[in-house]
Chain A
Amino acid sequence: MTTLVAIDGLVKNFDASGPAAIDGLTTQIKSNQVTGLVGPDGAGKTTLIRLMAALLTPSDGVIKTCGFDTRDTPEPIRDVIGYMPQKFGLYEDLTVMENLTLYADLRGVVDPQRKDTFERLLAFTDLARFTNRLAGALSGGMKQKLGLACAMLRSPKLLLLDEPSVGVDPISRRELWRMVYTLIGEGVGVVWSTAYLDEAENCAEVIVMNAGRVLYQGDPKAMTATMAGRVFYARGAGAERREGLARALQNPDIVDGVMQGQTIRLVTAQGAPPPTPEILGVAAPVEIVATAPRFEDAFVAMLGGASKRTLSAQARRPVDETDAPSVEARGLTRRFGDFTAADHITFRIHRGEIFGLLGPNGAGKSTTFKMMCGLLRPSEGAALVDGLDLAKAPSAARARLGYMAQKFSLYGDLSVRQNLEFFAGAYGLSGARRRDAVARVVDAFDLTPHLNANAGGLPLGFKQRLALAAAIMHEPPVLFLDEPTSGVDPLTRREFWATINAMVGRGVTVMVTTHFMDEAEYCDRVALIYRGKAIATGAPEELQARVRSEKMPNPTLEDAFIALVEESDRQREAAA
């Protein structure tokens, strides 16, 4: 095992007055293993990878890639590395084969070795069937594989992958990891940056970064092991579990807590006693059991634990309890020509429930979601909010729902206050009602310190809070979230869900679309959408129980997801 990248006292400043993106970093990257570069958004992961690829010049310190100084000799580095940027670096208007040929020419992979290389890579990535398809027409997972193939053409010594798993469903992600492990066997060193902490556990070594500094470097299992005996499941809190979690987080002995379906996962502070059922303060009998720690537990504990901030949960008035479902899809179908994007999808969401639409890219989630929002007219079936048909009474139904898009629809050049006032106006609030609405969300979401700052310059967590505040300005009883925390670091994600939990506690109904298991675990129930059909609906635990087998005694939600999709594929093939 040799050192591929040697970094000594590295500093990178983009803006002389601002904070450094990389702040005095010293580390080494070794060959024959996957080194995970783990950290929240803005930690400096991408900057570090670009510095390794000699795409950026260090402000101070030295970084040597494969023995060459990136400052003085960038050219030889480009011959020995493979680099896949975040957007994969593919030409979308060229076919798979044309992309491969281009990069082969640029990297000096010529005949006769080219033919073998192409055959090997196409078989490896399973893209042989698609060589004549335009790269832009590939799914996210296939694009990622092609990007990887292009980066690997000339068997690099060092392969740099910048967040390769963003926007990729679990199945493709698993395949990608399999491919990367094959490379390790061939002696390549891989750097894999990610904001998903479950991926860190796949790495031989992790470099945990925050604010341009290294927090931890070493075996992820060793880091996870420091949490042994500090992680517990609290089961049986029932309907009060969200309030229970919020109460437990106020306890100084608890550093972290998240919802996993019906279960609460609690992490205690170093040296603190195991939690007692009392700290949840719920009426139902709660059973507390110790469980194995995850890397994420160690990561959050290292960053100082989950935020203790509580929301003054006055985001909305109490609602009348009724038995009717709050949101309902009745045989929702949408056809585009011959293609059926959504095929008789039916589900009911009850008041105060968090419901997830889960599925791989292109499965029909977005189509379903758009019909639920009234943005797309169903070919068949109906979408109802509070009993109102979105196709028949669109404005009345839409007035009852708040919608937070994946890309926050905020005006970056307007201040927080101006954004809120604009959205209040957009929802038809004026005069005293508008002032009240703005004051209420500012108070509820703790936005006072940032009121006059431009929304574009806010930290991600605040942007998200602001987007949510804007979406619920008109106090909707139903809230739709489209991949609300994709690519968001664990601390911000916890903060966001604490807000959502507080709102659900007040009777708001939430529907989430996502392909991230983390988000799905916050849901009471999920519907798994695949090839336009809802192939399974139920609580996360129920789905996990459905796939439990001797081979998989303890399936995660991701395991369940993959197993159910594969089962559906088998059934379809058997029928055909």
Chain B
Amino acid sequence: MSAPSGRWRRIRALIVKETRQVSRDPSSFVVAFVLPALLLFLFGFGISFDATRLKVGLVIEDPTPASREFLIALSNTPYFDVHESSDRRAFIDDLSAGKLNGVIVLAGDFSEKLARGDTAAIQVISDGSDPNTAALVTGYMQGAWASWREKRGLGAEAPPGQIEIKARFWFNPELQSRRFLVPGSISLIQMMIGSMLTALVVSREWERGTMEALLATPVGVVEFIIGKLVPNFVLGMIAMGVCVAASLFVFDIPLRGSFLVLTGFTAIFLMVALSIGLLISTVARTQFIASQIAMLVAFLPGLYFSGFLFEVASMPAPLRVFARVVPAYYYVPGLQTIFLAGDIWAVILPESLVLIVMAIALFTLTARKTRQRLD
């Protein structure tokens, strides 16, 4: 038999086999479809860095028309759920218990000071044990205070002679965190399918003793690897399709770049993930160990060091260096760019290059490490 035709027949047979197994195995269905959906909805709906309806207590020590007006203004914003009292002690327990996110005190001389144009007219007490929310309460409160003063014709509070800063947010004007969380979670899903699923299906062959039988046939290393890569690559791309559709139609995230660039860029990242999975499977002989290693080397670094949950720039130097070997560190910013900004080649091209180099290096290492023997 001629080598090339035999080789293609064997590769095709392995791909058909793998596809059949995937289609019959509920666990690969779970990893490929249920898990992505779960992650996507978790990040899309469950986790949010924005606050709406912050629970605050408003203490009005001396009810005046001005303070009443402030209360109404505050209640009318979408950000606050306002409870009212005339004594701050009424709220202190709730604040300690975490039932309130903050307490705003309009002191007895509120109207008096307001009329004079003094600055420290209100006091904001927030729960420092949750700094994120505390900052939100303070920030939103300042905003609400400023706009209320402006509306009353009191002017912004900036002392004369200082520069006034006005923020404008590009690409994500409503500052919805899901707009960058969802692209980030797509990277996790690709890692999951690429690394975890691939490592699992190979270690399963070891566990069930089918690897030994395969090794005794004329199947070569490269044929075996391709036989595993192709079906999982297709599975990963399908999952990406599901994610993109969900992003566009469920989460209302704009796709400002082109679909083609998105597909190509994801394909490169998926190759890196698949190579990691195959590399794991060269050392893991059981599914349990394979999933543990995949969790540690692929999933968790992708979660922490891609910059979509935690800002890499504010990490200590050694971690910043480490982040540079995490593939998601390059993929997530590119993905966010394609979704929110467009096909910005200055961002996508260098990141693609790094990922391609990673894929080639990992793939070569895998082909060398994959043994054709049992010892």
Contact = CB atoms under 8 A, between A and B. Distances in A.
B211 to A, nearest CB: 8
B21 interface: yes
B1 interface: yes
B23 to A, nearest CB: 9
Contact of A81 (B214, B216, B374, B375): B216
A91 B219 CA distance: 16
Interface stretch (B4-12, B184-192, B228-236, B298-306): B4-12
A54 B373 contact: yes
A14 interface: yes
Interface string B205-226: 0001110111111111000000
A55 B215 CA distance: 7
A102 B216 contact: no
Nearest to A12: B375
A150 interface: yes
A98 interface: yes
Given A90-B210, A92-B208, A106-B218, A57 B373 contact: yes
A14 B1 CA distance: 36
B257 to A, nearest CB: 40
Contacts of A78: 216-218
Interface in B10-38: 10, 12-14, 16-17, 20-21, 24-25
B216 A91 contact: no
Nearest to B374: A55
A91 B17 contact: yes
A87 B211 CA distance: 11
Contacts of A87: 208-210, 212
A88 to B, nearest CB: 7
Residue picked from A86, A93, A151, most chain B C-beta under 10 Å: A93
Given A75-B218, A106-B10, A93 B212 contact: no
A84 B212 CA distance: 9
A56 B374 contact: yes
Given A56-B374, A78-B218, A108-B1, A98 B212 contact: no
B212 A105 contact: no
Contacts of B12: 105
B218 A74 contact: no
A85 B208 contact: no
Summarize A's interface: helix, strand, loop or mixed: loop
A53 interface: yes
A110 B9 contact: yes
Contact of A85 (B1, B20, B213, B218): B213
Instruction: For chain A, give the interface size range.
Output: 35 or more
B372 interface: yes
B17 A98 contact: yes
B33 to A, nearest CB: 18
A86 B212 CA distance: 10
Nearest to A55: B374
A102 B213 CA distance: 12
A101 B13 CA distance: 8
A427 interface: no
Contacts of A81: 216
Contacts of B372: 74
A105 B139 CA distance: 67
B210 A107 contact: no
A110 B212 CA distance: 23
Given A105-B10, A106-B13, A106-B219, A91 B210 contact: yes
A89 interface: yes
B218 A55 contact: no
A344 interface: no
A75 B220 CA distance: 9
B370 to A, nearest CB: 14
Nearest to A106: B217
Interface of A: 14, 50, 53-57, 74-75, 78-79, 81, 83-94, 98, 101-103, 105-108, 110, 150-151
Interface of B: 1, 6, 9-10, 12-14, 16-17, 20-21, 24-25, 208-210, 212-220, 372-375
